[in-house]
């Protein structure tokens, strides 16, 4: 885990557990990790509007059936699509498989809008990649808002 993320957790007084593991790219890959028995599974989607003027990172339960059409309504857009790998690297400094709300620390100009499903706050063990997909950080979901209080976060 990079120092800027350690500093963020430390400054917010948020306890966490860090796990190192082989690189994983999907929720299915993550299910095979030994420590996942007690965590709440989450998926993260990096999206953009039609003219690439706005970017969104959605964090929601892994079993959520939220469609792109529903996301377009939430973000007040006609059409939403997945952002490209180049956009992901340019905006958040990560590669596919590493998308998470923790990418906010790389979003220096705060150009990404973060949408977080409110049900994540109810879980004691939420897990995210800390900007690399060979590690997973687990912490109390009720701390998400405090962790990201300096970023454009919307709860839905």
Asked whether 154 and 34 are in contact (CB, 8 A), the reply is: no
Instruction: Please report the pLDDT score of residue 142 as a whole number.
Output: 97
How many contiguous H segments (helices) and E segments (strands) does the chain have?
5, 8
**Structure letter (DSSP) for residue 84:** P
Q: Is residue 27's pLDDT more than 90?
A: no
Which position has the token pair 């919307």? Answer: 154
Alpha-helical regions (H) of 16-141: 27-30, 68-74, 85-92
Q: Are 96 and 132 in contact (CB under 8 A)?
A: no
Asked if the model's pLDDT at residue 57 lies above 70, the reply is yes
CA dist 8 and 149 (Å) reads 11
How far, in Å, CA of 139 to CA of 92, rounded? Answer: 21
Confidence (pLDDT) at 36? 65
Please report where in the chains the tokens 């709860």 appear, as a residue. Answer: 155
Is-contact 136 19, C-beta < 8 A? Answer: yes
pTM: 0.91
Which CATH number is correct for 3-155, 3.60.120.10, 3.40.50.1000, 3.90.960.10, 3.40.50.970?
3.90.960.10
Sign of the C-alpha dihedral computed for residues 99, 100, 106 and 109 taken in this order: positive
| pLDDT exceeds 70 at position 61 | yes
Helix (H) or strand (E) holding 3: helix 3-11
Model pLDDT for residues 87-124, shown as the tens digit of each residue = 999 999 999 999 999 999 999 999 999 999 999 999 99
Two tokens at 55?
């970017």
Residue 60: burial class (beta carbons within 10 Å; 0-12, 13-18, 19+): buried
Write down the mean pLDDT value for the chain: 93
pLDDT at residue 136 greater than cutoff 80: yes
């Amino acid at each position: 885990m990079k120092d800027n993320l350690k500093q963020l957790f430390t400054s917010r007084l948020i306890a966490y557990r860090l796990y190192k593991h082989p690189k994983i790219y999907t929720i299915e890959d993550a299910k095979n990790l030994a420590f996942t028995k007690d965590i709440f599974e989450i998926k993260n989607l990096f999206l953009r509007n039609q003219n690439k003027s706005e970017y969104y990172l959605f964090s929601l339960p892994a079993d959520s059936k939220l469609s792109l059409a529903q996301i377009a309504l939430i973000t007040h857009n006609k059409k939403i699509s997945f952002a490209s790998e180049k956009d992901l690297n340019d905006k958040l400094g990560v590669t596919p498989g590493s998308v998470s709300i923790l990418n906010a620390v790389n979003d220096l100009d705060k150009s990404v809008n973060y949408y977080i499903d409110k049900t994540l706050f109810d879980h004691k063990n939420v897990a995210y990649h800390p900007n690399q997909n060979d590690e997973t950080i687990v912490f109390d979901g009720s701390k998400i808002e405090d962790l990201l209080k300096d970023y454009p976060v919307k709860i839905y």
